Amino acid sequence: MNTANRYTSFVKQFFLSYGCSIVNDHHSHFTIQLTCEMDEEIMNRPFYWHYMKKMNREGAPMQLTFTDTEQKKNGGIYLHAGTPKLHTLYNTAIQKGRTARLYEVVREISGRNKAMSPWLIVNALLHYRGKKAKDEPISIGINLIHGTMMLGMMDKIQNIDFETKVSDYTFPMSPVISLTSAYKRMERHIETYVSSLDNEWAIDSLHHLEKEKKLLESFYESEDIDLESFTKEREQIDNRYKPYIEMEVINGGLFYISQDTSAQWIYH
């Protein structure tokens, strides 16, 4: 799948999931009818909606046309990595999809009740910051009954059906491990993981930091700069070079997963 299509399917999926409809769908070109809620959320026209509400009127939500080609002839918002509207959608998606409690859909015909294990699943970004910067996505799951930890969790559950209601003939088990302690284990895991990495980038940053600090100190000693700018500059050098990793959780939730399903991960 090329990148343009990745954006297209994300955009369509996004709007469909939040109750909007596709009114026109051509090859490389489609139009979305927004709902009032979505219009208010992403179109950035607060005055219009404020006015409509005040007048007790319904308001007309807008339509948006997207395209995955640069050709301007049909108009529409060209979808590429930098499209501002796309970034609005990212932020809206992240904000709306931050937490969940979901149950695996199980079609049980034997009539016997099936136990569903609780998992804490967390998706996060590790922001590597120093002289240079990058991110690493990470997805961890911990079984809250026996503490098994799994990595690459999102990939594993991507194609499983989940619902917000528990399926018939299944029952969710109560967690033995609390969310907080499971989360702490994840943090510890990240520490171990990070220290196992080749951290050349951090060493390089530290090296640079020391070099700049020494240089600055020598300027101060030879009275080329005064104390005030020394202190300020010292802080700014830290800002620029000091290496650290910031963990930012994107989303996470409590997932109830059948043992048949999780058994496949553990034994494969």
Partner 1 sequence: MLEIRPDHSFIQTLQENLDHPDKLATWDGFKLAHQAAQFKTVPKFEGLLSLDHLPHVNFMEHQVEAAETVVHQMNGRAILADEVGLGKTLEAGLILKEYMVRGRAKKILILTPASLVNQWIQELNEKFYIQAASPRKKQASWKEWDVTVTSIDMAKRENHREEILSIDYDLIIIDEAHKLKNHKTKNYQFVQSLKKTYCLLLTATPIQNKLSDLFNLVSILKPGYLGNLTDFKKKYQKNAEEEDNIQHIHSLVGHLMIRNRRKDTGLDSSKRKVVNELLSFTEEETAMYQKLEALKANHPSFTWLTLAKELCSSREACYMSLKQLKKNAPEEKAKVYDEYIEAIGQLPHHVKAKKMAELIEKTEEKFIIFTEYRATQFYLQWYLQQHGITSVPFNGKFNKSKRDWMKQLFQNKAQVMVATEAGGEGINLQFCHHMINYDLPWNPMRLEQRIGRIHRFGQEHDVKIYNFAVKDTIEDHIMKMLYEKIEMFKNAVGDLDHILEQIPGGSFDQQIQSILKQSDSQGEVDIKLSNLVSYVEHTVNERRESS
91-150 binders of partner 1 (CB under 8 A)? 91, 93-102, 122-125, 127-129, 131-137, 139
Q: Does 77 bind partner 1 (CB under 8 A)?
A: no
Q: Does 172 bind partner 1 (CB under 8 A)?
A: no
CB of 127: closest distance to partner 1 in angstroms? 6
Angle in degrees, CA 245, 132, 209, rounded to 5: 85
Longest dimension (CA), the chain: 85
Burial level of 65, CB count in 10 A (0-12/13-18/19+)? middle
Q: Does 12 bind partner 1 (CB under 8 A)?
A: no
From start to end of 165-220, where are the E strands?
170-172
Angle in degrees, CA 182, 183, 186, rounded to 5: 95
Q: Does 151 bind partner 1 (CB under 8 A)?
A: no
Instruction: Tell me which residues in 201-220 interact with partner 1 (CB under 8 A).
Output: 201-202, 208, 215-216, 219-220
Q: Which is nearer to partner 1, 49 or 162 (CB)?
A: 162
CB of 49: closest distance to partner 1 in angstroms? 20
Q: Which is nearer to partner 1, 58 or 155 (CB)?
A: 155
Instruction: Give which of 105, 123, 122, 116 is closest to 159, Cα–Cα.
Output: 105
Instruction: From 20-28, 45-53, 110-118, 235-243, give the range in contact with partner 1 by CB under 8 A.
Output: 235-243
Q: Does 247 bind partner 1 (CB under 8 A)?
A: yes
CB of 57: closest distance to partner 1 in angstroms? 27
Cα separation, 75 vs 88, in Å, equals 20
Instruction: Tell me which residues in 22-61 interact with partner 1 (CB under 8 A).
Output: none
Q: Which is nearer to partner 1, 60 or 98 (CB)?
A: 98
Write the DSSP symbol of residue 210: H
Structure tokens at 57: 């009127």
From start to end of 68-214, where are the E strands?
77-78, 99-104, 114-129, 133-143, 149-151, 162-163, 170-172
